[in-house]
Structure 1
């Protein structure tokens, strides 16, 4: 398992994350942004999906604020997406919980996303590669509904991820 971590406040975060992503993104890549806008802590994926869509990201993007992919519809939506793109590489994006010292880290992994793992749900893995943003610590109580998670924090992380994805295409000189 390969996992690379960058803190979203790092001045070079966009560039460093772009360098990691560029080796795993091509014309055959689709993005699945997992989460829900009903909970600030779990809205990272849908916000990234919305930003990418608004900025006309040239690869297929699934999961947004208006059309989220979350625990209740994940199996159905991912199955449908795989039917539409049976040979595509899937890059999945989601928020997750971690150690308190890891909050604010964005991790790129060359393995699937494990949605719901941090909150004790058993859901199918999503993607071939994944980007996760650690938005809170897993202290066992009020998981993902912690009122101390600020929307501005999630938007800032989503911005770094969004800009990194666009930059990774430029680094690859990918024309789609």
Structure 2
């Protein structure tokens, strides 16, 4: 699987995400939306998970605004997902980095290591990773909580959820054809 990289403000991003993901979503799918609703910069996952449920996605969604997947419960969620033996596990999280452009969305083969940028040692999650670049890691994390706008996170979450739903629809359509 080649990495897919796009800026959230580019044209037709949900279509591009849907087209890319449809090739990699196989069988029973879980989507793990990592983060917390207690911090705007880290609510990309739960907000995306909430939007996915509102759009009636048939994949199992873990991580919403009312039931987030975060550092305190991620071990339990990973065990639950492993027990259910999904064919595809997509992990989605906000990312803080200096090497990528703010607003970038990256999809790649492999797991996400949640909390890595802020020094947490949490279990890896997923077969496919989706990250949304929120801000640069060089900025003090306490400052990060106050400089990222909810509208930015909200818009990226809408785009990600639309792209994932489109991918699922394309997979279903291909099965019927």
TM-score using structure 1 length: 0.91
Distance 2:23 2:117 in 1: 28
**Quick check: which one's helix share is greater?**
2
Distance 1:117 1:175 in 2: 38
Residue 50 of structure 2 aligns with which residue? 50
8 Å contact from structure 1 (residues 103, 134) kept in 2? yes
Residues 1-176 of structure 1: pairs in structure 2 closer than 5 A: 2-83=2-83, 85-99=84-98, 102-142=101-141, 145-172=144-171, 173=173
8 Å contact from structure 1 (residues 27, 59) kept in 2? no
Q: CA deviation at 1:145?
A: 3.7
Flag the 1:174–1:159 CA change in 2: closer, same or farther, 3 A: farther
Q: RMSD of the TM alignment (CA)?
A: 2.0
Deviations 1:30-87 (A, max 9, x none): 111100000101000000100111121111111101001001111112212322x224
8 Å contact from structure 2 (residues 88, 127) kept in 1? yes
Distance 1:26 1:163 in 2: 18
8 Å contact from structure 2 (residues 26, 87) kept in 1? no
Q: CA deviation at 1:10?
A: 0.5
Distance 2:87 2:35 in 1: 21
Greater CA drift, 56-65 or 94-103:
94-103
Greater CA drift, 22-31 or 66-75:
22-31
Secondary structure of the residue that 1:146 maps to in structure 2? helix
Q: CA deviation at 1:101?
A: 5.7
User: Unpaired runs of 5+ in structure 1?
Assistant: none
Secondary structure of the residue that 2:141 maps to in structure 1? coil
